[in-house]
């Protein structure tokens, strides 16, 4: 064993804490098989489908329990884990390279736009417990919300209707409706104002 590996594997000198393996999946066999089957379909039929074939991708997701409006748009390079927990409203969209880690419910409201390379995480771990148990909480994204490029949304977050989460933000708590928010952690900056419609 190298010196670096020895150092990496050494418990702190003043600690008697022993942790358990974090490699064991906390899912029953049938769920693991369902996840594996979806992973195969997503990496083949879903990923290979042309960009314009949105209906085909909706159909595939629907076979695995996703509840999608007929006008929802999912990019072929989006990754959705556990699609049976995904719900998308009218004209809602998931952009290129979005990762929806839907171990719990993910609800994306009508006209909500999730930009490229966003990450929606419903799962985390309790690091204060030596068994490192999985914790899941739902994510709800409101009507007309824009989640800009590269945003990470953590478990349990609710984003209010018409809100904006600015590029590269990390959303750790709920965001109020119709507010422009940004940062790490993401915080409200100003009200989202709309231009008057043309007469």
- Residues with a catalytic annotation lie at 125
Closest CA to 174 of 139, 129, 147: 139
Separation of CA 66 from chain center: 14
Rounded Cα distance between 23 and 198, Å, is: 57
Distances (CA, A) of 122 to 16, 90, 196: 32, 22, 37
């Amino acid at each position: 064993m190298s010196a670096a590996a020895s150092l990496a594997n050494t418990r702190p000198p003043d600690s008697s804490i022993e942790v358990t393996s974090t490699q064991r999946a906390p899912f029953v066999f049938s769920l693991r098989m369902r996840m594996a089957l979806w992973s195969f379909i997503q990496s083949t039929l879903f990923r290979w489908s042309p960009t314009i074939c949105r209906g085909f991708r909706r159909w595939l997701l629907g076979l695995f329990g996703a509840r999608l409006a007929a006008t929802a748009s999912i990019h072929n390079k989006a990754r959705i884990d556990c699609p049976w927990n995904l719900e998308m409203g009218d004209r809602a969209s998931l952009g290129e390279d979005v990762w929806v880690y839907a171990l719990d419910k993910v609800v994306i409201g009508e006209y909500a736009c999730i930009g490229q390379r966003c990450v929606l995480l419903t799962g985390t771990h309790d690091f204060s417990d030596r068994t490192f148990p999985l914790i899941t909480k739902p994510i709800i994204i409101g009507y007309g919300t824009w989640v800009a490029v590269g945003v990470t949304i953590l478990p349990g977050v609710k984003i209010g209707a018409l809100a904006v989460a600015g590029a590269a933000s990390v959303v750790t708590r709920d965001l109020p409706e119709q507010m422009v928010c940004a940062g790490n952690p993401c915080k409200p900056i100003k009200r989202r104002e709309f231009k008057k419609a043309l007469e």
